[in-house]
Amino acid sequence: MTMIHVIKGDITRLTDVDAIVNAANSSLLGGGGVDGAVHRAAGPGLLEECRALHGCPAGEARVTGGYRLPGRYIIHTVGPVWRGGEKKEAEVLAACYRNSLEAAAGKRVTSIAFPAISTGIYGYPKKEAATVAVHTVRSYLEEHPGRIEKVVFVLFDDESLQIYKELMKKRGTV
């Protein structure tokens, strides 16, 4: 049985997860939003490891060490830029969540925290993105029982927090 938690806060401050997911850009060389916060908190060693990865396409995920963060790993995934919804944005966003969980499982990670990928600079509507996130993570956990013990959705603003809380109540419908 996997516990899914929804909290408000700064994902870089979590102390009780093996891995956090970073909403990176395809260069993997840092940026604004959560990406900037992750690089600042992790320190320069992270940028050095990221340089050697030579980028990451949207929908895929790459794993690095956690450096100064409490967790052992950072899973960098590149969300889709919102272009109106007809450019496979939902598929790419779902792939981000699935591939991040696969990457985590490959490292024997049992607890993982996600930010609301693509809902900042990349402009994905918050509610639509949350539906994809919750649905994809639940499906993955059902398909792969026993791999992950805890998933934390970390939201940065009250609106996102409320959207996730509502979705978590509607078991079986998303």
H-type alpha helices, 52-125: 89-106
CB of 172 to ligand ADP, least distance (A): 26
In the chain, alpha helices (H): 33-42, 44-51, 89-106, 126-143, 158-169
Please identify which residue in 62, 115, 133, 161 interacts with ligand ADP, judged by CB under 6 A: 115
Q: Is residue 97 near ligand ADP by the rule CB under 6 A?
A: no
Pair 59, 80: CB distance under 8 Å: yes
Q: Which of 3, 7, 10, 40 binds ligand ADP (CB under 6 A)?
A: 10
34 DSSP assignment = H
Known catalytic membership, residue 35:
yes
Binds ligand ADP by CB under 6 A, chosen from 47, 105, 121, 168: 121
Pairing assessment for the beta strands 61-65 and 73-78 based on DSSP bridges: antiparallel
Q: Is residue 50 a contact point for ligand ADP (CB under 6 A)?
A: no
Considering the candidates 10, 18, 35, 157, report the single residue annotated as catalytic. 35
Active site residues: 35
